[in-house]
Amino acid sequence: MALPRTFFALLFLLITLTNPSMGARMLDLWKPDAQLLTYHQGAVLQGSIPVSVLWYGTFFSSQKSIILDFIQSLASSQQQTPSVSQWIDMIYNFYLSKVGNGARPQVLLVNQVDDAYSLGKSLSADQISQLAAKAQPQNGGIALVLTADDVMVDDFCSTRCGMHGSNPTSSWTFIWIGNSATQCPGHCAWPFNQPVNGPQGNPLKAPNGDIGCEGMVINIAIMFASTVTNPYGNGYYQGQQDAPLEAATACPGYYGQGAFPGYAGQLLMDPASGASYNAYGANGRKYLVPAMMNPDTSMCSPLE
């Protein structure tokens, strides 16, 4: 199998991972030029997007449910507002409506595979692509590789919480996200955990009761936005092709209006549990989804 071409969201990785609030500071002080994110004439993912999930390692049914409900939320429009479905509309309106066939993305969960540590508990980036193939992704689809909290992946926590890429011999793409609960929740599950660096405000309460999975959902959303708008490295991005700035990675640590260092922005709060969120999802779920860079205004736009 040919090795994939992998694209790392370096701004999110190098800024948000070391200090999630620092990204908000950069966005506050730095005014990007009008062509921050541009289209490079390549393919994007539109219309039907089949998603295959590979669970690598131990995931409890409650953890799977949080993530599967989020995937269902990406596919469903029958949600209380503001919704995950409306967040998908932002990707469509800002990016996908302007190129290709202009079709809105329609996410469909088509397959799930459980893998009980077939490659061990320490993985390389190249092994992630092998696991993606085991998920049996369909043409034009996404293989979503999720690793458990006891699995180490090259550069996980030190420079990244996940990645996306594609296989040059196929027409499918992949996303990898790790569960940071026991390794680096301050890096990859902020604002639901105390940050490692920067202002030390109180962490927010997670709406679904699992900090590791809440962080995974945030990073799945970030990488999903990157994958559909820049699946093969020649779609929407800014900077170097192999280290691009992309749709949601351009707004690290930004979840609501008024975000600043150590503060995720104005969010909704569940009056019963005190949990913070900004999007309603399927099956009564509540989630936190990232802001998106609007290429027309060069401004970060959170879901409202």
pLDDT at 242: 82
pLDDT at 9: 39
Rounded CA-CA distance 255/266 in Å is: 8
Alpha carbons within 13 A on the beta-carbon side of 147: 31
- Three-class SS of residue 224? helix
Rounded CA-CA distance 128/140 in Å is: 19
Rounded CA-CA distance 109/160 in Å is: 26
pLDDT at 24: 30
CB burial of 167-179 (b: ≥16 within 10 Å; e: otherwise) equals beebebbbbbbbb
Angle, to 10 degrees, between the axis of helix 211-229 and the axis of helix 84-94? Answer: 30
pLDDT at 302: 97
Q: What is the DSSP letter of 156?
A: B
How high is the mean pLDDT in each 10-residue block of the chain (304 residues)?
Answer: 39 38 31 65 95 98 98 87 96 94 94 98 95 95 98 94 88 96 95 86 94 98 97 92 90 92 92 97 96 92 94
